[in-house]
Chains A and B, each alone.
Chain A
Amino acid sequence: MSAERKFPFACNCSRRSFLATGVGLAAASTLFPHIRSGAAAVPEGQSVFNYDGSTDPFPIPWLDKNGSHNQPAGLGNEPSSIYHFKGKIARCSDFIGMGTDNKGNRLAFGNPTTDNAFMQGEYFTGRAARKGTFTHL
Chain B
Amino acid sequence: MVPVPEGGLTFEDDGKTAILQLKDLEIIDQPAWPAFKAEATPARMDIKIVWRATNEKISYGDPQKQFKVDGFKATAQLEAAVEVPSLGFSWKSDPIGTSKAKFAIIGDEVNGRYYTP
Residues from chain B with a CB closer than 8 A to the CB of A124 are 112-114
Residues from chain A with a CB closer than 8 A to the CB of B71 are 89
Judge whether B104 and A133 touch: CB under 8 Å.
no
Instruction: Using known A-B contacts A79-B105, A80-B109, A88-B107, determine if residue A133 contacts B8 with beta carbons closer than 8 Å.
Output: yes
User: What number of residue pairs across chains A and B have CB atoms under 8 A from each other?
Assistant: 166
Judge whether B78 and A135 touch: CB under 8 Å.
no
Q: Mark A78-93, 1 if CB is under 8 A from B, else 0.
A: 1111111111111111
Judge whether B9 and A101 touch: CB under 8 Å.
no
Judge whether B34 and A84 touch: CB under 8 Å.
no
Segment at the B interface, from A5-13, A44-52, A69-77: A69-77
Decide if the interface of chain A is mainly helix, strand, loop or mixed: strand
Our pick among A84, A86, A101, A133 for the contact of B91 (Cβ within 8 Å) is A101
Q: Other CB < 8 Å A-B pairs besides A78-B65, A137-B45, 14 of them? A: A60-B111, A73-B103, A76-B60, A80-B67, A89-B108, A97-B94, A97-B100, A99-B93, A102-B89, A119-B109, A120-B9, A132-B3, A135-B4, A137-B47
Which B residues form the contact surface with A (CB < 8 A)?
1-4, 8-9, 15, 18, 20, 22, 25, 27, 34, 45, 47, 49, 51, 58, 60, 62, 65, 67, 69, 71, 74, 76, 78-80, 88-94, 98-114
